[in-house]
Amino acid sequence: MTRSLSIALITYSTKPRGGVVHTLHLAEALAAAGARVTVWSLARAGDVGFFRAVDPAVTVRLVDFPTVDGESVTERIVRSIEGMRAAVRLDDYDIVHAQDCISANAVGTCIRTVHHLDTFTTPILVECHEKAIVTPYAHICVSQAVADEVHHGWGVSPTVIPNGVAAGRFAAAAADTEEATRARRRWTDRLGDYVLAVGGIEPRKGTIDLVRAVARLQTIRPEMSLVIAGGETLFDYRDYRSEFESTCAAFNVDPVVLGAVDDDELPALVAACRVFAFPSTKEGFGLAAMEALAAGRPVVARDLPVLREVFGDTVRYAGDVTGLAQELGDACQHPSTTRDRAAGQAVAAALTWDVAARAHLDFYRRHPRP
């Protein structure tokens, strides 16, 4: 009988960012498959747990990370790495698997999932980014497009293991049951008809382009509002946020910025939107958009190779602000057919975390710790 693996999954936050969502679902699926799994994370500003409950079959270890007033982004990230490095007991695990740059720098020789590649200009952060790719002894990517970027830049050949999707909970939120209908109505009573973006206000998410596109949309559909959810990050986007606010004022767009939404409420928020906007300029997979497909919502995405790879013809694509506005308008004017919704939901439903966990376990056995 094969001994169950002891696995440490390392992430940088307890908040609902894509990589953190990935980490928790993967941990739970690995535990369900018989592995002994511990998730390690920084816990900022007094956090005592993750943004959602975690299956008790998974051990959670949080590293206290107090706020330091006046600290720069570079200082915060360096302190994050040092704090994680001091806390994680690597010898307790057969496999150490880092999910981001901070984690990979903290634990050194490890398996690394490269969800997407960042661009830094500060020398220390450039060095951290480089080390987080060259130091790990094995690499996973959630899409071939990112794997190709890594291969082109560093000569390594990551294994592609696509994200799983908790499709069932989003499909249930879109159902015609009394409970699901009531949950959606709570959002529409509050927000009206809305374009939804999940991921916060930051350059990589293309938020300012979305504001400009919604401004054009509102000239023909003034009832449509813009709603933005999510946005927890270690980075400082104050300059971008200021530009976002000035753009909103200039174009007379008054978005509803929800911040982090309770995990139990998120599926209904997604299922209730008229159209889901995904104008990111860089992505590794597009988990939030896949969740929207699972909820049967039309998705308008930036025309990126990685999104073409993941979504095929199940979403609408746009290359610029004009295209975004046009596709958002068309999605509102011509709602998805039952056939189109079913096709998108089928793509999302096929990407299960059980399949992802089995692929990870096979990978771990092929790549034991040196």
Same domain, 119 and 246: no
Query: Does 279 map to a domain?
Result: yes
For residue 78, the enclosing domain spans 6-164+352-366
**pLDDT attached to residue 232:** 65
**pLDDT attached to residue 234:** 61
pLDDT less than 70: residues of the chain: 1-2, 232-236
Summarised one tens digit per residue, pLDDT across range 288-298 is 999 999 999 99
Same domain, 104 and 234: no
Q: How far apart are CA 309 and CA 304, in angstroms?
A: 9
Same domain, 211 and 277: yes
Q: How far apart are CA 291 and CA 84, in angstroms?
A: 31
Give the strands of the sheet with 194-198, arranged side by side: 256-259, 225-229, 194-198, 275-278, 299-302, 316-318
CATH, residue 235: 3.40.50.2000
Query: Does 1 map to a domain?
Result: no
CB 207 within 8 A of CB 243: no
Q: How far apart are CA 88 and CA 90, in angstroms?
A: 6
Same domain, 248 and 305: yes
Number of domains in the chain: 2
Same domain, 345 and 356: no
* Angstrom distances, CA of residue 189 to CA of 15, 20, 28, 228, 262: 27, 31, 35, 17, 18
Q: What share of the chain is helix, strand, coil (3-state, %, to 5)?
A: 50, 15, 35
Query: Does 39 map to a domain?
Result: yes
